[in-house]
Homo-oligomer: A and B are copies of this chain.
Amino acid sequence: MMDTPNLNRKTTSRRVTMEDVGRLAGVSQVTVSRALSDPDKVSPKTLKKITDAIDATGFVPNAIAGALASKKSKLISALVPSITNIVYSAAVASFSSVMREHGYQVLLSETGFDPKDEEAMILTHLSRRPDAVLLTGIHHTAKARQMLLASDIPVVEIWDTTETPIDICVGFSHDRAAVKAAEYAFENGFTCAATLSAGDERALRRRAAFESRFAELAGAAVENAVHCERASLANGRDGLRALQAQSMEKGTFVFCSSDVLAHGMLIEASAQGLKVPTDIAIMGFGDQEFAAHTEPALTTVRVDRTTLGRSAAMALLSRFDSAEPIASVNDIGFEIVARHSA
């Protein structure tokens, strides 16, 4: 029934400007600008006239013009591999929340897991003249680093640590986390281990660190390893079957690169009538909400995504109001959560 809900479209009326507001209030454009940015610098009487004029006209400040004039966009660009992955979205959510409280908006984009795509997006983002950039991980193309450096704005790299960040990094050591996992396995009597990993760089790095540390402790290489494109329950189930096809020993400890993969494997194990953790032990990574509720409850590595996002925001904010050096590498740590699956 299309009752033309958009009547007032098509009118050629220019958007209202500070000039218009000022005219109505009987003051100049600058005074309107002041009234908005620094009300104390305007007399109470004119302030009132101005706010009235704003209400009357429905004035909405033009942040684009403001940004061009002030060279401050109040925009932070954030690049994450995937926004549907709770692991990244939770960190971005807390980051955004803190930044917003300080008057910044976050322009978020998905990069996928390819540094080349990330590079292209960095260029697009930089053209919006963000006041800072947040990146995921510490691996970027040379050109990306160069553009970022040349842009001369703060950059935070999250989810990892390095001694040589572009500017600031906040995250944790994936190596150490995986090493701890290997030690956990060995200390709990496992003599045989396997890995199931997603294809992204950090997951692969954890896998490698786990395998190398476990081999060191057990005195034998980790023979069984499978990796898949992305973390999903289906890939977790398939992962177990793929491992079994490699003739994995009974009682093997499987280190998965994420809770979702581990959960999928748990489901497949249950479907096969396998006992966890005796027939097979399964460890996840991330400690997502469901991890405590699987059957059996999932042993995993906890990473505090909220803290991660908040720390990144705070690092940026402190950099904004002091050119002084702040901590450029921030380690938020991790924690092994021993439950019943491994």
Interface of A toward B, CB cutoff 8 Å: 1-3, 5-11, 13, 15, 58, 60-65, 67-68, 73, 82-84, 86, 89-90, 92-93, 96-97, 100, 105-110, 123-129, 146-147, 149-152, 163-167, 232-234, 237, 263-264, 267, 270, 289-290, 293, 295, 323, 325, 328
Complex CA distance for A228 and B15, rounded to whole angstroms: 43
Q: Give min CB distance, A44 to chain B, whole Å.
A: 24
**B110-A107 in contact (CB<8A):** no
Give which listed residue, B1, B58, B93, B264, contacts A163 with CB less than 8 A: B1
Closest 4 CB pairs of A and B: A63-B127, A84-B89, A61-B127, A63-B128
Structural contact, B123 and A60, CB atoms closer than 8 A:
yes
Q: 12 A-B contacts, Cβ less than 8 Å apart?
A: A7-B149, A15-B151, A58-B150, A60-B126, A64-B128, A96-B109, A96-B110, A105-B128, A106-B109, A107-B107, A263-B290, A270-B295
How far is it, in angstroms, between the C-alpha of A233 and the C-alpha of B2 when the chains are bound?
41
- Chain B min CB distance to A32 (Å): 14
A-B contacts besides A63-B127, A84-B90, 6 pairs, CB < 8 Å? A8-B152, A9-B152, A63-B128, A93-B110, A232-B289, A233-B293
CA gap between A8 and B146 in the complex, in Å: 10
Task: Output the nearest chain B residue to A92 by Cβ-Cβ distance.
Answer: B83
Give chain A's interface secondary structure class: mixed
Across the interface, which residues of B come within 8 angstroms of A67, CB to CB?
64
The distance from the CB of A17 to the nearest CB of chain B, in whole angstroms, is: 12
Which residue from B9, B86, B264, B323 sits with its C-beta under 8 Å from A10? B323
Residue of A89, A295, A323 with highest tally of chain B CB at under 10 A: A89
How distant is the Cα of A2 from the Cα of B150 in the complex, in angstroms?
A: 19
| B166→A5 contact, CB < 8 A | yes
Select from chain B the residue with minimum beta-carbon distance to A167. B6
Of A63, A96, A123, A289, which is in contact with the most chain B CB atoms at under 10 Å from its CB?
A: A63
Most buried by B among A8, A92, A128, A150: A128
The answer to whether B233 and A290 have CB atoms under 8 Å apart is yes
Q: Which chain B residue lies CB-closest to A163?
A: B1
